[in-house]
Structure 1
Amino acid sequence: MTVSNITLTAVSGLCLLLLYKCVLYPAFLSPLSKIPNAHWSASVSPVWMLWKRFRSQNNQTIHKAHAKLGPIVRLSPSEISINCVDGGIKSVYSGGFEKHEWYPRVFGSLGTVSMFTMTGSKAHSTRKRMMSSIYSKSHLQSSPHMRLISEEVLYNRLLPLVHTAVSSNSPVEVHDLNQGITMDFVSSYLFGLANGTNFLQDPAGRQKLLELYQGRKPYEFYHQEVPDLLSWLKLVGIRLIPKWCDAANDVLDAWGLDLCDRAEQSLKSTDPRVEPAVYKQLTQALLKQGPAQGDQLKQRRLDIACEMYDQLTAGFETSAVALTYLFWELSRSPKVQKELHDELLTLEPTLAYPRPQGSTGLPAPKSIDALPLLEAVVTETLRLHAPIPGIQPRITPYPSCSLAGYNDIPPNTRVNAQAWSLHRNPEVFPSPETWQPQRWLKDANPSSDIDEMRRWFWAFGSGGRMCVGSNLALQEIKLVVAAIYTNFRTSIVADDDMEEIDAYTVKPRGEKLVLKFEPV
């Protein structure tokens, strides 16, 4: 009887402890209990939010919660979301909050991590110092590598291809085309023009590789949100991710390593057509840390390849999405398209194709960057159709912090913000679901508070972890748009399912946009 009483007491005590830790404390006593719940169960269980993410409803779900409950909401017992600048993204992303393990779970490759996926700020800062100068605006605008790449991609690949389609009165599927454009630009800058891809002139190879790359995306949820479940089930022979994803990863890893190995053979070259600008920069920076031998040398090769692969895939995918939505919006707005064409004609030399007799070279990147309407068109597209609109998870610091008016937020709480919601604040962006480039032009819209809009603009993130390749993306996008709309006008042939998928990195649900190009 005594043993039974002791057992009963122990079981009762355990039940009470679990009740306190799993229900009473998180729901009523934790500092997070004061934050509005996105769902009635959010304070005691992550299941509701996990279900929304499993069903690819993350961005919309969080946005609706903020619209209803304000600038901070609780998504699960230890996860919150913020949607404000002061006391929000300014505190978290410019305040040194460390990255969550969510990043290396999904975006790591070759068994190692890149600058983007490093969780610790010290390791990230060290790597960023190695890379930031080669991605600075001043360097890119004066780079002989970028000048040659731009000439090659525009005048030897893209414009002849579009001109042929116009001559044969054939429509063009531009989303696929844009992925070729951006892959050729980014790979050539990373590895050298002679070593980069030529996807524009190899549509079969482009589509084969992109199928492998995109096919794995629906399974990212498991790595992001339930990695332990993934591991446990795998131990008992249950696979949530099919084997072909492993095979696809192997092919992509081998492809990335091959690009690096070819760049390695060109390290001694100073010819801008051959020299691998970014690869060389990182390799030389790592060499300054000391020589490597044996296993260290093998690991360094993988570290470099992982970094290059991350910059390549992130750079091509996001810029391609931005170009697709920019072409779509301009094709629906003939008036803006005409005004942009008129502005582009002020460039000297012209970007006309075929080139007028005696015309050589490209306009200075600074002159393209200074065009106000082009800037407004690109910025508004990135606001409404941010290629990465999804969450950017961070971890709250020890011992506590304050966010959006709430104090004593405990350490190791996952905190996210997302461009999808920041860019749709109607108090900052009136009629936020409409594409209005003029909102960024003071002369066209004197009532616009452009400085405030720029504080909320988050297409490239903010703080020390903001996108290192943002200047490259903007220079490349503006140049392509300038070349196309100097020479052609576009109209829609088919734009079914142009709504963005709900994901970290988006694309049109239909994965295509068919346009008709006509000479201006």
Structure 2
Amino acid sequence: MELHLYYAILLLCATAGLYKFILYPAFLSPLAKVPNAHWSCSFCPIWIYWVKWTKQENSRIYNLHMEKGPAIRLAPNLLSVNSYEDGLKRIYHGGFPKPEFYFNGFAVYGTDNLFTIKDNKTHSAHKKALSSCFTKSFVMSSQTARAATRDILFNRVLPLLHKSSTENKAVEVMDLTYAYLLDTFVQWQFGRSIASNLVENEKERRFYFDGFLGVAEYTFWQYHFPRLVAMLQKLGIHLIPKSVVDAFEGVEKWNLDKCDQAQQLLASGKELSPDDQPVAFEPALKGMSQVDAKPQMYPRRLDLASDMFSLNSGAFETSGNTSTYLLYELSRHPEWQSKLREEVRGLETPLKHTPGKLVEIEDITNPQDIDKLPILHAVLMETLRLWPSVPGGQPRVVPRLVPWAVFPDPLEWKPERWLNASPEQLALMRKWFWGFGSGGRMCLGMHFAYYSIKYFFASVYSNFSTTIHDHGDMEASDGYLAGPKGHRLELEFHYLE
């Protein structure tokens, strides 16, 4: 009798398991009517993990949408949606919360930041303290931003490019744009006295970029199996090598030290010049902590540092990839270089680099004038469209395909589409342009990105023409974030009198 009862319980458990893990998800779930990316997607996530592991997620899912329609099932409880009115708009404007994916991949110091917070209500309250200094009007009028542009672009980057042109030496521009963008943002973020100098300091540059980017090879484990990584680490098995973890922690400490220095600077009560104003840090500190607290003991120190890390790392990596591809496209299209040069040389205050002369703030063209340049805006928008820096899926927790007609010849780099479009066509293109996301979670640093990238290209092509010397694989990597697979673009800069 006991043996029969044992078998009955075993059969009941097997039947329940069959129903829960096979029959229900495959045939009875509301998602069962959605086309599967692979036959196994009805009852297990192994297919989507495989395409992520083999770095073909974006291309495979895109092709499947072309074949199967606007909604595809990637796992028992995971859909990919590729439609606007009844899909993306509803999801990203509808307040659906973020899943653990963001915390696993982008939290630092073990704490949330603006990018990882799950629910929109908490995110909105958290964002409130920072949002005012990231508005377009604030960025455009910021004397601290202009001082950072003077120090880094005009007095470091342009002299470096001029020196390379006189010596007929190629410049690896991917690292250079990363360094320019990080230095510019960090000076605006923390103030001039706490700024970085990755443009000129090779040791600091290698420390930061090698430490920050070294973990990219292991993001599959970090994003999707953080508990497994932690458990095996306790057993001495490192899915992410210890040297990589240590190097990244060095970058975390670099950022935390700058936060501590900025807090101490503000706590000192000294009157700060516009050059030395910690523009992004100060409102965050006042909104989350005590300005005059004891050094390294101010409340919510790690929460604040996590926000600052998410801001400055986002400022250089995504914008750096965009800048690299824009340099690549302009160097392949000299006719657009000529058009851009004619436009920027027509500015009322020229962006002329004079070798040996230090530039003052009053010598720099107004950012409002640069922002209005239509050709500069067009080449940037077209690069953001064709080479998105964050092409991966933007997952959300949730209770007709993009028409080709919006962007004819979608795989071609055609800045003229932004210049020759009718008002109706332009409105439609802007609707479908998601270079910085959309809704309440839209990129906070969008206006600063436009500011620093436009200054860079207006200044470079006012003074130089560029040609390609050599490069690695320029195909975009297939992952959540994307830059050139070869991570190398060498250009020759030719100084123009």
TM-score, normalised with respect to structure 2:
0.94
Tell me if 1:499 matches 2:475.
yes
**Closer/same/farther in 2, CA of residues 234 and 151 from structure 1, 3 Å limit:** closer
Q: C-alpha separation between the residues in 2 aligned to 1:291 and 1:368?
A: 39
State the shift of 1:437 in Å.
0.7
State the shift of 1:246 in Å.
2.6
State the shift of 1:230 in Å.
2.9
Q: C-alpha separation between the residues in 2 aligned to 1:220 and 1:174?
A: 25
Tell me if 1:472 matches 2:471.
no
Q: C-alpha separation between the residues in 2 aligned to 1:204 and 1:76?
A: 45
User: How many residues align structurally?
Assistant: 491
Tell me if 1:345 matches 2:323.
no
Corresponding residue number in structure 2 for 1:451: 427
**Root-mean-square deviation (Å):** 2.3
Q: Deviations over 1:362-406 (max 9, x none)?
A: 222111111111111001101111111111111013xxxxxx7xx
Residue identity in the other structure for 2:397: I
**Closer/same/farther in 2, CA of residues 77 and 180 from structure 1, 3 Å limit:** same
Corresponding residue number in structure 1 for 2:396: 394
Tell me if 1:271 matches 2:247.
no
State the shift of 1:102 in Å.
0.7
Task: Determine which of 383, 386, 396 is the counterpart of 1:384.
Answer: 386
**Closer/same/farther in 2, CA of residues 280 and 222 from structure 1, 3 Å limit:** same
Tell me if 1:426 matches 2:366.
no
**Is the 2:155–2:358 contact (alpha carbons within 8 Å) kept by the matching residues of 1?**
no
SS in structure 2 at match of 1:514: strand
Tell me if 1:439 matches 2:413.
no
Q: How does 1:53-92 map to 2 (within 5 A)?
A: 53-92=52-91
Corresponding residue number in structure 2 for 1:513: 489
Residue identity in the other structure for 1:371: L
Corresponding residue number in structure 2 for 1:316: 316
Q: C-alpha separation between the residues in 2 aligned to 1:286 and 1:446?
A: 46
SS in structure 1 at match of 2:287: helix
Corresponding residue number in structure 1 for 2:150: 151
Identity %: 38
**Closer/same/farther in 2, CA of residues 103 and 3 from structure 1, 3 Å limit:** same
State the shift of 1:226 in Å.
2.3
Q: Deviations over 1:17-58 (max 9, x none)?
A: 111111111111111111111111111110011011111222
**Closer/same/farther in 2, CA of residues 125 and 292 from structure 1, 3 Å limit:** farther
Corresponding residue number in structure 2 for 1:97: 96
Q: C-alpha separation between the residues in 2 aligned to 1:392 and 1:293?
A: 40
Residue identity in the other structure for 2:20: K
SS in structure 1 at match of 2:491: strand
Tell me if 1:336 matches 2:314.
no
Corresponding residue number in structure 2 for 1:411: none
Q: How does 1:7-86 map to 2 (within 5 A)?
A: 7-86=6-85
Residue identity in the other structure for 1:473: A
State the shift of 1:316 in Å.
1.0
Residue identity in the other structure for 1:429: F
SS in structure 2 at match of 1:335: helix
Q: C-alpha separation between the residues in 1 aligned to 2:359 and 2:58?
A: 52
Q: C-alpha separation between the residues in 2 aligned to 1:348 and 1:80?
A: 52
State the shift of 1:235 in Å.
5.2
Q: Deviations over 1:287-326 (max 9, x none)?
A: 48x998999x555111111111111111111111111000
Unaligned runs of 5+ in 1: 398-403, 405-420
Unaligned runs of 5+ in 2: none
Q: C-alpha separation between the residues in 2 aligned to 1:42 and 1:17?
A: 20
Corresponding residue number in structure 2 for 1:412: none
**Closer/same/farther in 2, CA of residues 382 and 358 from structure 1, 3 Å limit:** closer
**Is the 2:95–2:120 contact (alpha carbons within 8 Å) kept by the matching residues of 1?**
yes
**Closer/same/farther in 2, CA of residues 454 and 82 from structure 1, 3 Å limit:** same
**Closer/same/farther in 2, CA of residues 45 and 160 from structure 1, 3 Å limit:** same
**Is the 1:266–1:274 contact (alpha carbons within 8 Å) kept by the matching residues of 2?**
no
Q: C-alpha separation between the residues in 2 aligned to 1:515 and 1:280?
A: 38
Corresponding residue number in structure 1 for 2:255: 256
SS in structure 1 at match of 2:353: coil
SS in structure 2 at match of 1:499: coil
Corresponding residue number in structure 2 for 1:197: 196
**Is the 2:210–2:247 contact (alpha carbons within 8 Å) kept by the matching residues of 1?**
no
**Closer/same/farther in 2, CA of residues 291 and 25 from structure 1, 3 Å limit:** farther
Q: C-alpha separation between the residues in 2 aligned to 1:235 and 1:259?
A: 31
Q: C-alpha separation between the residues in 2 aligned to 1:433 and 1:346?
A: 31
Q: C-alpha separation between the residues in 2 aligned to 1:262 and 1:12?
A: 65
**Closer/same/farther in 2, CA of residues 75 and 229 from structure 1, 3 Å limit:** same
**Is the 2:96–2:397 contact (alpha carbons within 8 Å) kept by the matching residues of 1?**
yes
**Closer/same/farther in 2, CA of residues 291 and 117 from structure 1, 3 Å limit:** farther
Q: C-alpha separation between the residues in 1 aligned to 2:363 and 2:197?
A: 21
State the shift of 1:176 in Å.
1.1
Q: C-alpha separation between the residues in 2 aligned to 1:476 and 1:208?
A: 23
Tell me if 1:370 matches 2:346.
no
**Is the 1:495–1:512 contact (alpha carbons within 8 Å) kept by the matching residues of 2?**
yes
SS in structure 1 at match of 2:125: helix
Tell me if 1:118 matches 2:94.
no
Q: C-alpha separation between the residues in 2 aligned to 1:293 and 1:327?
A: 46
**Is the 1:114–1:307 contact (alpha carbons within 8 Å) kept by the matching residues of 2?**
yes
> Higher helix fraction: Structure 1 or Structure 2?
2
Task: Determine which of 361, 364, 386 is the counterpart of 2:363.
Answer: 361
**Closer/same/farther in 2, CA of residues 37 and 318 from structure 1, 3 Å limit:** same
**Closer/same/farther in 2, CA of residues 32 and 201 from structure 1, 3 Å limit:** same
SS in structure 2 at match of 1:130: helix
Corresponding residue number in structure 2 for 1:282: 284
Residue identity in the other structure for 1:21: K
Q: C-alpha separation between the residues in 2 aligned to 1:273 and 1:8?
A: 78
**Is the 1:85–1:455 contact (alpha carbons within 8 Å) kept by the matching residues of 2?**
no
Corresponding residue number in structure 1 for 2:462: 486
**Is the 1:489–1:518 contact (alpha carbons within 8 Å) kept by the matching residues of 2?**
yes
Tell me if 1:177 matches 2:155.
no
**Is the 1:440–1:448 contact (alpha carbons within 8 Å) kept by the matching residues of 2?**
no
Q: C-alpha separation between the residues in 2 aligned to 1:208 and 1:260?
A: 18
Q: C-alpha separation between the residues in 2 aligned to 1:146 and 1:379?
A: 22
SS in structure 1 at match of 2:6: helix
